[in-house]
Amino acid sequence: MKDLVNGTWEACATPVGVDLENPATSEVTGPALGSSTARTEEALAAADALGAWAAPVEERADILDRIAAAVAGAAPEITALESRATGVPIRQTTPLGMILAGAFALAASQLRLGILTSTAVREDGREVLVERLPWGPAACLVPWNAPAPMAAHKVANALAAGCPTILKPSEYAPFGTERLAEVIDAVLRDAGAPPALFQLLHGGAEVGARIVSDPRIRAVSFTGGLGGGRAVAAACAYDIKPVQLELGGNNALIVLPDADEAIAARAAADLLTTLNGQWCRALGRLIVPAGREQALADAVLSRMNEMTAGDPADEATDYGPLIHSGHRAAVIKARDDLGGVINESTLTGPGNTLAPALVLGADPARTTEEIFGPVAAVHGYETVDEAVALANGTRYGLEGYVFGADEEAALAVAKRVRAGEVKVNGSSVMSLHLFTPRPAWGISGYSEEGTAETLLFFTNPRVVGVENGFALHSRS
C-alpha cells in the first residue's frame, strides 16, 4: 500500500490492527497498513495551503475528461483488484467499472452546462450573479464493498467543484482505489495541476477521524456504516462543516397480492446476492401476503440455487465469498439473533462464502436493523396498510421495492414507503434515472448524492450584485 501526499508516493508502514484476507480462501494475505501521523499532517497542511483549484471551469472540465479516458483504459485492472479484495464476482465488478470513467465524464459535462453559475434579474433590469464556489479542502471516505466506483464519483465531483481532495479508502479493500488514484495523479501531473489538489491516505478509523475532525477540512463526503457515519457527523458538527452521509439500509420488498410470484422471487434473489449481499440497498425484509411466506421463500431459494458460487475471479461465478472471516461471523450471529426459522439456500462455495438465507417467523421488532449480508426476514401481512407499516417499521429509509401486476396500485403503495428511492417491479443496482438524486431518510443518511447533487454539495453559493439604493432609514 502506498499513499500520495503533496505529489509524492510513499509506502505505508503503520499497522492498522486488522489482517487482510483472500476472501476466496480465507487465508491472511498480510496486515493492513496506514499512513503515518506525519504524512497525514503533511497532506492536511498541503490541502489547506492550496485552498482551492484556481483553474477556470472549462480547463477543469477538459482535465476531468482526460481523467475519464485514462480511467477507462485502466478499468479492467481496477475491477479485477476490486473483485480480488472484496470477493465480489468479476462479472459484477466489471459492469460497475463503467462508473469509474463515467463519473469524471459526467462531472465535466455538468461543469459545461454551467451548473456553478446563474443570474437573477431584478425589476430594475440589474443582474445579480449567483456563483457556487468550492468550500475548500474536502475529504472523501469510501467503504469496502464497491470502493473504486464510489471513490470515482466523490473525487470527480470534488475536483469539478475546485476542492483540494483527500481520498481515504477502507483499510479492508485499498488496492483498487489506490490504482484509481495512480491514474488520477498521472493525468493531473501531466496537466500541470497543483500537487496538493489530489491526495490519497490509507488507514482505519483513527486516520479517518484525524482527517474529518481537522478544521482545515471544510467538507466531508462519507459512505459507510451507521457507527462511522455518526462519528463523522459529530466531528463535522463542531466546525459546522457540511457533511454528506450515505449510510446503511434495511430495505423492504413488498409483494402485493396480484404480483407475479416468479418475478418477485427473482428480484429478491438478486437483491440478496448482488455484491454477495454486502450492499446498503440489499434486501432486508420480504413482506408477502399472509399464508404465502413459505411459498415465496421457497421460490427465492430455488432461484438462488440455480446460481453458481465460486471463485470471484471466475467469469462463471454469480455469487462469491464475504470480504472477511470476521464479517462472515458477524453476519451469522446477526442472522441467528433474529430468532426465526432459517431457510438456507444450497449456494455454498470456497473461503468466506456464506449461503444466502431467509428467516421466517421472526418477530418484526427484531428485524429492524441492517445485517449487511445475504440474509433477509420474511413477514406476512393481512392488509396493504399492514404491509406498508412493516416496510416503514425501521429507522432506516434508503431503498424500497414494490411488486404488483396493477402498476398504478403498486405505484400508490410505493408512494407510502418511507425511503429515498422506491422501485416498482424492479430491483436493479442502478438508480431509476441518472439525473435524479439518491436521497435517504432516517438513519440511512442525509445530503443526497447524485449526478448534480454531489457536485453542488462541494460548493457554497455566493451572491454578488449592485444594490438598488433602497434603505429602510434613507435620508434625502
Catalytic residue among 280, 293, 421, 448: 280
Residue 475's identity, in one-letter code, is R
Q: How far apart are the first and last CA of the chain?
A: 71
Strands 243-246, 2-5: pairing is unpaired
Give burial (CB, 10 Å; 0-12/13-18/19+) of 268: buried
Instruction: Report whether 437 contacts 453 (CB < 8 A).
Output: yes
Q: How far apart are the C-alpha atoms of 173 and 145, rounded to whole Å?
A: 8
> Catalytic residue at 127?
no
Return left, alpha or beta for 152; rule: phi > 0 is left, psi -120 to 50 is alpha, else beta: alpha
Largest Cα separation within the chain, whole Å, is 87
* CA dist 419 → 176, 191, 293, 438 (Å): 31, 42, 24, 10
11 forms beta bridges with 2
Instruction: Report whether 137 contacts 164 (CB < 8 A).
Output: yes
* CA dist 280 → 235, 266, 354, 400, 420 (Å): 23, 19, 18, 11, 12
Q: Which three cell numbers stand for residue 199?
A: 491526495
> Catalytic residue at 280?
yes
Catalytic residue among 21, 246, 293, 421: 246
Grid cell 468479476 — which residue? 90
CB atoms within 10 A of CB 361: 15
CB atoms within 10 A of CB 132: 17
Q: Which residues are identified as catalytic?
A: 246, 280
